[in-house]
């Protein structure tokens, strides 16, 4: 299996190289050259299998011979053993034909654990075999950073530095980043906002001397291995509801387009998905793009679903590449236009996108109201991101079962949940001592030299 860049000029890479590289050298994102498909019978055979067994079958064709079967199986087993539910991604029912896929039973209580836990194992396996070490630096508005620290803590070949905006993440999110005690993970509180953290990260990748010296690696959602890990739960849930013998629809609370792009890949592999519905909060650039055909940046307005507060949705580039018949030059042109505000999608490409996706948005009031109604009618307490999904899913119900992705545990966003439905969302027992654990955090100025000096001095040689 080869991986090609969405901008058409970076070298083709194997799975492992694409994973360790992250962003392609031409600024594009890696995608598989062709998507392997599964037959009706192969999908039917997944019924009743464990999450781990389905994960192996679904991901195996995408992953090169660098990872032999035995090693891949062991990476998958270790990745999910810390989850608080033996099913890993269980479902509950919200209405006659509406199901909630709970993706928050991992160690940091958000769906990002599914991918991050696995790539922690895959990175360690690849680096040990190659005799290499890397320094992972990431920027986070909350969930990605905690998932990365949790996934890489204690690994020998990896040092991890997470930049988060000081004072602007929830207390649960901060404590998940600052309480792990392993010496290879470092939470850095940057004097600035999330955009400052992202800008400094980019500057580090562009400082080639620094980049090569510390062997910088990235694990944000442009990393193909993260998308791949998320394809699996589309299969487990659809098969549980009768696929491939009947169709299933999905609604996905969306920010950076990684999670819903995984659903698009599942469909391309042959899973009979009827509707793939993009659900956005008030930062509705993806919904507007599908409606108008123009991708136009507007300012970000902070919301109660902060993990979806973005205006540049990185993984959208991957689907745009397909919409333009895999013409990397056109994608590169559109991305250059994005830097100066936005771009207009061609008629052919927008027709393709409208054929693949539906969309909807939820305002802040609608999100709050959905938390309350869901609690009143089902007793389920849902997080604000999930509520955005449930609101939009309700507008797309049909005779086909609808699965809404529950992307985080309500206890990660206790204030919004309490405001909406009057309930305290309790942390699961396995992390009920989170507020007693000792915190370890380094405050850093919003300054490239200071950050690089700190990383050089703290990383293990
Ligand atoms: C990251 C995140 C999202 C958005 O997922 P994307 O893959 O970026 O679209 C939604 N909800 C929660 C809780 C998240 O952490």
Between the CA of 407 and the centroid of ligand 1 the distance, in Å, is: 7
Residue-level pLDDT at 97: 96
Residue-level pLDDT at 112: 96
- The finding on whether 109 has its CB within 6 A of some atom of ligand 1 is no
Q: Which atom of ligand 1 is nearest to the CA of 412?
A: 13
User: What is the pairing mode between strands 91-95 and 98-102?
Assistant: antiparallel
d(CA 84, CA 140): 24
Alpha carbon of 3 to those of 8, 61, 288: distances in Å?
Answer: 11, 13, 30
Residue-level pLDDT at 296: 92
d(CA 151, CA 345): 38
- Decide: 265 and 35 in contact? Cβ < 8 Å: yes
Torsional sign, CA 359, 365, 367, 372? negative
- The finding on whether 110 has its CB within 6 A of some atom of ligand 1 is yes
Per residue of the chain (461 residues), give pLDDT as tens: 999 999 999 999 999 999 988 778 888 999 999 999 999 999 999 999 999 999 999 999 999 899 999 999 999 999 999 999 999 999 999 999 999 999 999 999 999 999 999 999 999 999 999 999 999 999 888 789 999 999 999 999 999 999 998 988 888 999 999 999 999 999 999 998 877 888 898 889 888 899 889 999 988 878 999 999 999 999 999 999 999 999 999 999 999 899 999 999 999 999 999 999 999 999 999 999 999 999 998 888 889 998 898 878 889 999 999 999 999 999 999 999 998 889 999 999 999 999 999 999 999 999 999 999 999 999 999 999 999 999 999 999 999 999 999 999 999 999 999 999 999 898 999 888 999 999 999 999 999 999 999 999 999 87
- Decide: 122 and 75 in contact? Cβ < 8 Å: yes
Between the CA of 356 and the centroid of ligand 1 the distance, in Å, is: 20
- The finding on whether 221 has its CB within 6 A of some atom of ligand 1 is yes
Pocket test for ligand 1, best of 100, 102, 111, 141 (most atoms within 8 A of CB): 111
3-state secondary structure the chain: CEEEECCCCCCCEEHHHHHHHCCCCCCCCEEECCCCCCCHHHHHCCCCCCHHHHHHHHHHHHCCCCCCHHHHHHHHHHHHCCCCCCCCCCEEEEECCEEEEECCCCCCCECHHHHHHHHHHHHHHHHHHHCCCEEEEEECCCHHHHHHHHHHCCCCCEEEEEEEECCCCCHHHHHHHHCCCCCCEEEEEECCCHHHHHHHHHHHHHCHHHHHHHCEECCCCCCHHHHHHHHHHHHHHHHHCCCCCCCEEEEEECCCCHHHHHHHHHHHCCCCEEEEEEEECCCCHHHHHHHHCEEECCCCCCCCCHHHCCCCCCCHHHHHHHHCCCCHHHHHHHHHHHHCCEEECCHHHHHHHHHHCEEEECCHHHHHHHHHHHHHHHCCCCCHHHHHHHHHHHCCCCCCCEEEEECECHHHCHHHHHHHHCCCCCCCHHHCCCCCCCCCCEEECCCHHHHHHHHHHHCCC
- The finding on whether 220 has its CB within 6 A of some atom of ligand 1 is no
Contacts 24+ apart (CB under 8 A), 449-452: 451/163, 451/188, 451/190, 451/200, 451/204, 452/204, 452/207, 452/210
Residue-level pLDDT at 196: 84
Model's pTM, two decimal places? 0.95
Between the CA of 256 and the centroid of ligand 1 the distance, in Å, is: 7
Vertex 286: Cα angle to 284 and 289 (nearest 5): 110
d(CA 259, CA 252): 7
Q: Which atom of ligand 1 is nearest to the CA of 104?
A: 13
Catalytic residue check, 112:
yes
- The finding on whether 112 has its CB within 6 A of some atom of ligand 1 is yes
Fold of 91-105+224-421: Rossmann fold (3.40.50)
Residue-level pLDDT at 120: 95
- The finding on whether 258 has its CB within 6 A of some atom of ligand 1 is yes
- The finding on whether 308 has its CB within 6 A of some atom of ligand 1 is yes
Between the CA of 71 and the centroid of ligand 1 the distance, in Å, is: 29
Between the CA of 409 and the centroid of ligand 1 the distance, in Å, is: 12
Smallest Cα–Cα separation from 142: which of 134, 154, 150?
150
Instruction: Please pick, among 14, 73, 112, 200, the residue that the annotation labels catalytic.
Output: 112
């Amino acid at each position: 299996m080869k991986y090609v860049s969405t901008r058409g000029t970076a070298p083709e890479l194997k799975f492992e190289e694409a994973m360790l590289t992250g962003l392609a050298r031409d600024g594009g994102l890696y995608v598989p050259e062709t998507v392997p498909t599964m037959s009706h019978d192969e999908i039917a055979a997944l019924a009743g299998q464990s999450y781990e067994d389905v994960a192996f079958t679904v991901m195996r064709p995408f992953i090169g011979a660098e990872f032999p079967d035995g090693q891949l199986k062991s990476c998958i087993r270790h990745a999910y053993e810390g989850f608080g539910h033996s099913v890993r991604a269980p479902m509950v029912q919200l209405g006659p034909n509406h199901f909630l896929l709970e993706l928050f039973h991992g160690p940091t209580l958000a769906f990002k654990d599914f991918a991050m836990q696995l790539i922690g194992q895959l990175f360690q396996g690849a680096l040990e075999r190659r005799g290499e070490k890397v320094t992972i630096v990431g920027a986070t508005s909350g969930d990605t950073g905690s998932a990365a620290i949790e996934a890489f803590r204690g690994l020998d070949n990896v040092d991890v530095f997470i930049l988060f905006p000081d004072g602007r993440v929830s207390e649960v999110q901060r404590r998940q980043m600052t309480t792990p005690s392993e010496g290879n993970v470092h939470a850095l509180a940057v004097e600035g906002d999330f955009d400052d953290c992202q800008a400094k990260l980019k500057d580090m990748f562009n400082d080639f001397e620094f980049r090569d010296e510390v062997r910088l690696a990235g694990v944000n959602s442009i990393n193909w291995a993260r998308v791949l890990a998320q394809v699996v739960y589309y299969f487990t849930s659809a098969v549980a509801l009768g696929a491939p013998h009947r169709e299933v629809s999905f609604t996905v609370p969306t920010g950076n387009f990684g999670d819903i792009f995984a659903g698009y890949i599942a469909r391309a592999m042959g899973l009979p998905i009827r509707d793939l519905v993009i659900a956005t909060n008030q930062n509705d650039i993806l919904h507007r793009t599908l409606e108008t055909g123009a991708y136009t940046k507007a300012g970000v307005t902070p919301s109660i679903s902060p993990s979806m507060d973005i205006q540049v949705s990185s993984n959208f580039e991957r689907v745009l590449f397909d919409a333009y018949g895999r013409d990397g030059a056109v994608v590169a042109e559109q991305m250059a236009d994005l830097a100066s505000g936005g771009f207009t999608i061609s008629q052919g490409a927008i027709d393709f996108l409208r054929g693949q996706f539906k969309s909807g948005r939820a305002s802040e009031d609608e999100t709050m109201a959905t938390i309350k109604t869901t609690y009143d009618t089902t007793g389920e307490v849902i997080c604000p991101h999930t509520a955005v999904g449930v609101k939009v899913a309700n507008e797309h119900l049909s005779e086909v079962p609808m699965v809404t992705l529950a992307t985080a545990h309500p206890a990660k966003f206790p204030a919004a949940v309490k405001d909406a439905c009057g309930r305290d969302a309790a942390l699961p027992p396995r992390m009920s001592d989170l507020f007693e654990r000792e915190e370890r955090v380094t405050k850093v100025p919003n300054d490239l030299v200071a950050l690089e000096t700190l990383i050089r001095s703290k990383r293990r040689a």
